[in-house]
């Protein structure tokens, strides 16, 4: 615990002392010269992160200092054809954490193992209202509750497959994807091979209608996991979101309902509900959200979202990466905005939130406070200070995590 407190103090002092330098940096400093029309472009994304974990289940705190670099080349071959090749490498200083690949099980887990791998390799065709991407690629649907890239971790989640996009009219978008394999965030050297990648036969259909500030979505996600049959599910759902803002102020909402059941090779037989109710209100640049997310259970099986960007949901402490057998009710409040309306304070984005976790069938799991502060460093480089504090009350253990990171990304015409 003393190590964690020292890291928190150092991070806060570093942010405070460096603020004047960031404030004085000219907006265009170090900005790369780019051209979206260039036939060949170099793309990069570098992320330096310090992550600390104080888990009551372990005698030692964990700390990971990692540097991730994604480097790719994107080329436009003709009016209709383009492609991309991208690799990723991850280095770490020290070994005082369990990465899932280093065998340091005496420490809490931080899923950022050192290593390297191919991240994306795809060919894209675009003709009129129809587009198709074939190969290893990022895939994001809606808010990533069901399918996403898990961009928070240093290795991201990518997919081998075919993604099709059709716009039959200006307000309509039809997305379909067939997935053959998922490459997971634990990296290519994870001790458990199922955490490296899984073979799939998954079909995803997502149809969206957007009119003004409102969007209606219907989806059918037929997920077959050939390596873990118990993870195969069929999920059908609808989603409605919108805003009614007057001069930037007013209400917003997200409403979603889905039904999930066993699918194809799954040996179990069950059917459970999902719903999300999230009204919000924006006033003077501040947005407050009340949320109720329900991942149902029949007492033996709970709703699962194995392809989701899970860190974005149910608290940043990641206590519920796998939904407990009793299901999950997450009732939360978030408040966020900018620290000011202009100048450097207007560039500082903050979020504070609280989650109250209960079982769908059973008692209370615990509660969690989350907070973050995003700040610019120089053009193209963004900083983030973030903390999550989970207090157990029937599920898991008390756990506190702290992150300080800097991210630099851009592209350059070749």
Give domain limits for the chain.
2-413
Instruction: Say how many CA atoms lie within 13 Å of 397 toward its Cβ.
Output: 10
What pLDDT shows up at residue 5?
A: 41
Query: Helix, strand or coil for residue 50?
Result: strand
Query: Helix, strand or coil for residue 310?
Result: helix
Exposed / middle / buried, residue 98 (Cβ in 10 Å: 0-12, 13-18, 19+): buried
What pLDDT shows up at residue 220?
A: 98
Task: State the alpha helices, DSSP H only, in 167-235.
Answer: none
CA angle (17 as vertex; 12, 23 as ends), nearest 5: 115
- Going by their DSSP bridges, the two strands 328-338 and 349-358 should be labelled as antiparallel
What pLDDT shows up at residue 379?
A: 86
CA angle (48 as vertex; 43, 52 as ends), nearest 5: 145
Tell which phi-psi region holds residue 133, choosing left (phi > 0), alpha (psi between -120 and 50) or beta. Answer: beta
d(CA 370, CA 400): 10
What pLDDT shows up at residue 230?
A: 96
Q: Which residues of the chain have pLDDT under 70?
A: 1-37
Enter the CATH code of domain 2-413. Answer: 2.40.160.10
4, 159, 380 from 100: Cα distances, Å: 21, 21, 31
């Amino acid at each position: 615990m003393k190590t964690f407190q020292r890291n928190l103090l150092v991070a806060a002092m570093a942010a405070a002392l460096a603020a004047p330098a960031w404030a004085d940096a000219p907006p265009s400093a170090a900005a790369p010269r780019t051209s979206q029309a260039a036939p060949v472009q170099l793309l990069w994304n570098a992320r330096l992160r310090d992550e600390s974990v104080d888990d009551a289940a372990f005698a030692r705190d964990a700390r990971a200092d990692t540097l991730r670099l994604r480097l790719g080349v994107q080329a436009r071959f003709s009016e209709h054809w383009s492609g991309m090749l991208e690799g990723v490498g991850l280095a770490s200083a020290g070994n005082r954490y369990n990465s899932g690949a280093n065998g340091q099980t005496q420490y809490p887990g931080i899923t950022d193992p050192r290593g390297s791998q191919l991240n994306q390799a795809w060919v894209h065709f675009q003709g009129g209202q129809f587009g198709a991407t074939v190969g290893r690629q990022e895939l994001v649907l809606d808010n990533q509750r069901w399918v996403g890239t898990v961009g928070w971790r240093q290795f991201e989640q990518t997919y081998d497959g075919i993604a099709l996009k059709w716009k039959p009219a200006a307000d309509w978008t039809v997305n379909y994807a067939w997935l053959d394999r998922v490459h997971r965030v634990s990296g290519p050297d994870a001790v458990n091979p199922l955490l490296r990648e899984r073979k799939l036969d998954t079909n995803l259909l997502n149809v969206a209608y957007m009119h003004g500030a409102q969007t209606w979505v219907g989806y059918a996600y037929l997920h077959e996991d050939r390596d873990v049959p118990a993870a195969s599910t069929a999920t059908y759902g609808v989603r409605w979101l919108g805003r009614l803002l007057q001069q930037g102020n007013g209400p917003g909402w997200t409403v979603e309902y889905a039904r999930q059941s066993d699918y194809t090779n799954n040996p179990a037989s069950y059917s459970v509900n999902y719903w999300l109710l999230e009204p919000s209100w924006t006033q003077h640049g501040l947005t407050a959200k009340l949320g109720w997310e329900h991942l149902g259970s029949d007492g033996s099986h709970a709703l699962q979202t194995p392809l989701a960007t899970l860190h974005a949901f149910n608290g940043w402490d990641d206590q519920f990466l796998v939904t407990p057998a009793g299901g999950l009710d997450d009732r939360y409040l978030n408040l966020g905005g900018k620290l000011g309306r202009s100048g450097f304070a207007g560039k500082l984005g903050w979020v504070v939130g609280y989650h109250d976790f209960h079982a769908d069938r059973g008692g209370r799991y615990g509660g969690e406070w989350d907070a973050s502060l995003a700040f610019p460093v120089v053009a193209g480089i963004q900083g983030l200070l973030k903390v999550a504090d989970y207090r157990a009350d029937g599920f898991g253990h008390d756990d506190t995590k702290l992150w300080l990171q800097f991210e630099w990304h851009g592209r350059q015409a070749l």
